[in-house]
Every structure is written in C-alpha cells, then in structure tokens.
Structure 1
C-alpha cells in the first residue's frame, strides 16, 4: 500500500487511455484511407519459437490490428527455423502488395541474426523502424518510420508538455530499440539530451538533472526516489515480472514507483503506461506504411 498523500503524489500518465484514443484515431484514418479507394492496410507479424509471453504479445497485436480496421497476417514459425528460411519468408512479405507492414518479434533464436533480419525488411514496411535506413533517417532528422516504443514515449510526454524546448531530457539506457532513438526524438523536440548507460560513472547524479527522465534498462527498481529531480516527468519503459510474497507474480518497471510518486511531477505506471502505447504506435506506423506504399501524403498530425 502506498503511504503517499494524494495531494503530494505525482500525476499518473494514463497510457491505456492515451493508447485507446490513438487507436480510435487510427481506425478513423484507416476508414478514410479505404474510402479514398486505397487497399486496406495489412500488418504481418512473424514469431519464431514458442515463448509463451511472446505468443500472448503477438496475438494481442493481431487483435488490436483488427480493432483498428486493418488486416492481420500471423506467421508462427518453429524454434528450429533457420535464418535462410526466415529471410525467404520476409522476401515473400516484401513482395506482397496486401501487406504494408512487417514486424518480426524479438528476441529471435540464437541461430538467427536479428540485425540481418531487420535489414531484410524493405524500409517502407519496417513498422518497427529498426532497420538501417529508418534509423539513418532519424539520425539525420529526415522523415521515416519511428520505432514504436520511443514514439509511444514521445506521445506520452506530449500529453503533459506542449513545449519541451530547452528542457533537460535524461535517458537511462542506450539500446538501439529505445535509448538511442529516444535521444534523437528528444533532440527534435529541442531538448538538451544526456544518455546514461552501463559505463556512466554516477547514474544517480545524471538522473537527478533531468526535467524529463526516460528509463529503459530492463533492471527493475533501478531508479530510486532520490534519483529523481523534484517535479520531473518520468517515463518508465522497463517491464519485469517478479515473484510476490503470496507465490504469484506481478509486473514492475525500472523505477521504484512508490518512492517516485512523492517526488516526480508526472509518471507512467507499470503496467498501463508505455506498454499500451507501443501497440497503438505499431498501428499508427502500419497506416503510415500504407500511406507510403500508396504514395499518399499524410496529414501533418500523422507525422512525428
């Protein structure tokens, strides 16, 4: 139980509500897109192996894709799938005009190089935004497909801040999936950006400088309450399942939530924060991919 007084607690950023609003907007935009005579957007999701958590995740993606009025194509491959076999499937999906977005669920089995697989997806269908072309476009400040999780984090921040110019954004975690693209997005917003990583000497001191603090390390409870600048906006990307004293499990983030509540100005919960936004942004990116495929110019509010 939290002991934080309601008038002292940070305001919770409701990722579920913001994701629901975005998904509904995507659904309306999909309907308008089809009414203009375009092909119904289609998303192909590829899962290699039988990891139960990944299976639940990709099935949820398929469900949300249908709810947004788009087609979903599921490809469930065995753990023993070779890299060559997976690349053959991607080549077929690249050539299929009914499929506008391709997502290969990570992690992949040890025999498959995720970098090779990601770069095999043509750039305009790379709805995860992780291929070299889209990553390069982001680094150069050129429009491209933005990785779903960082894009979701940005939209959560924009729900709190109408203008982030001049704010100090501190990102803890420098992965290609979240940390690096998040830094690029914050630079686009006019923030001063610092990135902490495994070799940072005093991560606590760095974190305390952040007007905006984005944490994506996969190490649950890493960021304590005294790591947070009073009034900062905290985006917790981490998600880990830990055991409880009753023999069950619960999901927790990289931020010690109860300690952060009386310090932060706004904070995302885990679950219910970044997670729903990642899927909503996947749907957003799939529509963007369909727009690219049809050579249709999107509305300004559909762009990052």
Structure 2
C-alpha cells in the first residue's frame, strides 16, 4: 500500500510565526514518512512550493483519490488559508487522520486519540480533567473522546483564566503556545500533565506548552520533545495495520506509573513523600505496536515522564491547533 503525506512550504518573506508553524509541519511530516516506511509501506512525501495555487493543490488531491494504490492521505496542517477548504475534496475513505471530521472513518485525529489513550489509565476513578486549547482541532477531538467515555472535562481556551487547571487532577494542553503553563497553573496533585505543544525555536530547540522549570512538579508529564509524537505515530500505524492487514490487531496501551490522589497527598505529611517518590520511580510504559518502532521514534519513559511528541501549531480560532 501507499501513503501520501502532503505539506506546504513558506516563502522567504512570510511572517516568522507562519514559518515556525510550517517548520513544525515539516518535522511532523518527516516523522510520518519514516514511520510508514518502517512499517513497510510506500510513503510519498509531497512538498508543495510557496504560493501553490488552488488548482495545483486540488489536482494533487484528485490524483491521490484516483490512485487505487494510495490507501491513505494526510494533509499536514496548517495549509494556507486559501487552500484549507479544498481539503474537503479528499476521499473520506483515505482520510486516516480525521481531517474531514464527521465524514472521516475515525472519531478524532491520531494525536487526539493518542492523548486520550495515554490519559485513559489515569481516569478510572473519574478525576477532574482540564483540556487547554479545547476549541482547536486536536482539542476538540480530545474533548469529544473524553465525553464519549463518560467524562465532563473542564474546557479552557483563549480568554479563559487558565488558573482553573489547578482544579483538575489531569491537565491536557494542546495549544502550541510556548510556556503557557507555569507556576500559576501546575501543582503536585496533578497526577498527569499531557503537553502536546511543539514549537521549533531559532536555536534548533523546541518548546512545549509547559515551562521547563515545571517538569518536576506534576507526578507524571509528557515532555517536549519526547512525549506525544511517537504516540501519534503508533496510532497512525495501528490504523493502517487494522485497515490493510489485520482488523483485530492488538491495540497499543499505556501501563500507568504510580500516582497519588489528592487525598493520599494530604493524608499524612510522613507517608506522602515516600509515596510520591515511589510514583516518580515507576514510569509509565507503552506496550503494543509502538514497541517495534526505531529507537528514535519510540516513546520515552524515563524518570517521571511519559511517551513522545508531535509538532503542532496554534489555530486562529482558539489556543489549540
């Protein structure tokens, strides 16, 4: 089978924030190409030049639709605004990343599904869950999956007081706004913080939604980089395998690390530190198809942190991508 990944490139005179968003898109596309090739699929990386017209983009999509060997198509977001409506011309049967929303075979994009599956082992006692960037593409998917599974998340986006995340036990941030969560927001009672922000910097580093100095505050955290990316890749690979090879493939899952509830943290000034230390010593582990990925793409479970990271960008309609 063949998978086509389509992305856009910036012009030299484009605004810096747009260039950053497309750089994140480039990194994401290259991760996908490597993952699909590792799976044994033919992966076509279509790189469209600055200023590509509507007609050219539409012809690329129509070619993918007509090619029987092409079984999956991914358009890297964000596309230029004048091209975004044309994504709807993609064949829904080939929409492996839920870009067409209700017309897609999948309920949410791979990033949102991966985030939910990382969080799932930590939500069995119905904790309070906050989603920051809830109106963005990924955020909407996360909120939808949480609600489908009986949770009522705290939804936060542009204009909201993000200090409300202190009321949650689990924080999921999908904004792509560097350092948006810091000392005013994160607390030791947070059993899990999922950071799905990824913003390349001019010095070659990347930044997530959570400030680096806060990494040791929550009990578990997905770092940037090295957090949600391979989780997204594992989800995409699983979708391809289920679609093309084995509908009954065993899904990957996360075995959670130890964590403390707020009550346990507050119950004893003597017991809580030892329990907290035990929680930090046992990192979460991901098992299933992701275990077969090349080392550079595998989820990392070092220290009190969780698996790996996908580049994503802010959306103009909210905090999230």
TM above 0.5, yes or no, is: yes
| Conserved? CA contact 2:58–2:86, under 8 Å | yes
Check 1:286–1:87 CA distance in 2 against 1; reply closer, same or farther (3 A cut).
farther
Deviation (angstroms), 1:195: 0.7
Scaled by the length of structure 2, what TM-score is found? 0.67
Check 1:54–1:109 CA distance in 2 against 1; reply closer, same or farther (3 A cut).
same
Give the counterpart of 2:76 among 100, 105, 109: 105
| Distance in 2 between residues matched to 1:179 and 1:57, nearest whole Å | 18
Alignment of 1:150-229 (within 5 A): 150-158=112-120, 160-161=121-122, 163-164=123-124, 166-200=126-160, 202-204=161-163, 206-229=164-187
Deviation (angstroms), 1:249: 4.2
Scaled by the length of structure 1, what TM-score is found? 0.70
Q: Return 5+ residue gaps in structure 2 as ranges.
A: 11-21, 254-321
| Conserved? CA contact 1:127–1:145, under 8 Å | no
- What's the CA shift string for 1:140-172, capped at 9, x where partnerless? xxx7253011122123224x53x5352221101
Q: Return 5+ residue gaps in structure 1 as ranges.
A: 1-40, 136-142
Give the counterpart of 2:208 among 253, 256, 259: 253
| Distance in 2 between residues matched to 1:153 and 1:270, nearest whole Å | 14
Counterpart of 1:267 in structure 2 is 221
Deviation (angstroms), 1:176: 3.7
Deviates more, 1:280-289 or 1:181-190: 280-289
Deviation (angstroms), 1:110: 4.2
Aligned length: 241
| Distance in 2 between residues matched to 1:98 and 1:234, nearest whole Å | 40
Q: Cα RMSD between the aligned structures?
A: 2.6
Deviation (angstroms), 1:231: 2.8
Greater relative contact order (CA < 8 Å, ≥ 6 in sequence): 1
Alignment of 1:27-106 (within 5 A): 41-49=1-9, 53-106=24-77
